[in-house]
Structure 1
């Protein structure tokens, strides 16, 4: 009989970056190790398509009702699984009832995975109602009840260890063999680029005046890849809607990657995914050195750390003017990702979550 493992996820397969790059890409490896892997998302495909759009209140409500119904059905079938892997939470609102039943009533081994400081409130304006119903204090309880915790970085692991010593730092990783393959851009114009989601568009405001000022002196295009188009007051910029099928080709249009952040507790919990993508594709990256960004990006080696407007301007100017520096930093960045943040380098660490 094969060993059985259930993944409980917020979103459908192949939709959310946190799922794709934290565990979905390891599922073939688990199956090769003899696991029968099942999965159940709280949000279905139809609800996902409208989840972050304004309005659609009744459709979102119905999608939520269906999500809770699926979770109740899951409880009736949970005994067949040796481990239950929960990414972020079993349900997006309310107390951790499903986790409590699984761990305390059904005595299941929970592997709890999170890659943000989700014990902090951080919701978008389009879902203000959901923000009132969230229960961020549930994270501590789920940590206490878990067989093992998979934390995205040391800051998150430190929080988890205050409730449970069995914590593994499981970084967000990239497939550098089959997916994140660098390719030279032939656009003929220098491109500085940013990628993110609707929830991180606010960070572009940090760079907006800097990019606008630099474009008065230097010729370059500013490229934004996201799931929503931002409002930017810069002279020469381009928006590409994020698309999983063209994501790597679109990122390869960029010559210099940027990842600005606000310095707060939420940023400390982030796992540097955008910086890792740029580095894996041999792009030098300029970042705010908060949280794991300061570890992923080696200042002056694979990119630059910038905390002030002046530092951002100086770093970007240096990279604009020096193509050989861009190439050197890009090559070293990819080597670092391969060595420390690739699927190959992390696969044994990931599999260790399912021991015992």
Structure 2
């Protein structure tokens, strides 16, 4: 039986689910023994995270707790060496403690395969230092990233270790049915529902386009008396004064996000162009496609590879945002865009294809 030690930050309700849990949970228990090593227990994780919002004493306590918990995990893996060690993003903070580095090298030199996975520009967002990033690149047997831009961040000598694996959703696509779209089409007779799903740190990308959406809401109402609604599913409320756009704030939960998407018509992902956003994996756009939602995303980074002309738009200007929304609001063409979105997801972001990659990685010597 192969032993697999998996270092993650959060539980199955966190974003780690989409990169790690939804695949490794599928490994045959008869052939694999998987041990998940979270940064902290589930109760503490829900209480303390995100730690950036907490008082300084909580930050110190959290760091010490995570340090010793991670240290124990690595020490145990040094004593009882796993066949595969999976690391999602990083162990702790920006800098890898020397004790971690020594233990990790000791584990790897005893023929453990290190699979390192990251899905953001984790240097630009200061999650890890460049030195730590390069150390992981050196030690890893295989590196999983979402797209070529993230691959290019690695030193050239290590780029042959990279496998491109976009983040996708292994549950959502099963909910997309003809019945769902019939309900959406019924709603579309009276209102056009856009949806934005993200964490509060991404709110800075949504706020700049609210005036454009408000203007579009007025144009749409003048055109055929339909309302434009924006559902904001986030762990922070969007507080904006709008004359025409209807904003519905929904506190984020996995179930709430699913229900919101099932009743929406357009998924949006506005971004500002920066080193960090060029590294984003566009997961929400992929999730929208998996449930048959046409998309509008800023023409930044990997968004360009996710959205095709048949399933959405990549606006660069205010007028292009308005045109995209009006076109996707057309009842006759919306159904075609929706069907194309799902088919594009199946061809390019299939969960089953990703699962086979993971199974091959874990099985390889």
Q: TM-score, normalised by structure 2?
A: 0.86
Partner residue of 2:248?
238
Is 1:116 equivalent to 2:120 in the alignment?
yes
CA distance in 2, matches of 1:39, 1:54: 26
CA distance in 2, matches of 1:306, 1:313: 9
Higher fraction of helix: 2
Is 1:21 equivalent to 2:21 in the alignment?
no
Partner residue of 1:312?
321
| TM-aligned CA distance change 1:50 to 1:176, over 3 Å | closer
Partner residue of 1:259?
269
1:202 Cα offset (Å): 0.8
Is 1:156 equivalent to 2:150 in the alignment?
yes
1:98 Cα offset (Å): 5.7
Alignment of 1:215-230 (within 5 A): 215-218=217-220, 219-230=227-238
Is 1:93 equivalent to 2:94 in the alignment?
yes
Structure showing greater Rg: 2
Partner residue of 1:51?
49
CA distance in 2, matches of 1:102, 1:90: 12
- Deviations, residues 127-152 of structure 1 (Å, cap 9, x unaligned): xxxxxxx5344112111111111111
1:178 Cα offset (Å): 6.6
Contact 1:6/1:38 (<8 A) preserved: yes
Partner residue of 2:304?
294
- Deviations, residues 52-92 of structure 1 (Å, cap 9, x unaligned): 37334333332222111111111221133111100000112
Is 1:36 equivalent to 2:36 in the alignment?
no
Q: TM-score, normalised by structure 1?
A: 0.88
Contact 2:6/2:87 (<8 A) preserved: yes
3-state SS of paired residue (1:190): strand
| TM-aligned CA distance change 1:311 to 1:137, over 3 Å | farther
Which runs of 5 or more residues in structure 1 are unaligned? 124-133
Contact 1:179/1:248 (<8 A) preserved: no
Which runs of 5 or more residues in structure 2 are unaligned? 221-226
CA distance in 1, matches of 2:210, 2:270: 11
1:99 Cα offset (Å): 5.2
Cα RMSD (Å) of the superposition?
2.2
Is 1:174 equivalent to 2:172 in the alignment?
no
Contact 2:269/2:298 (<8 A) preserved: yes
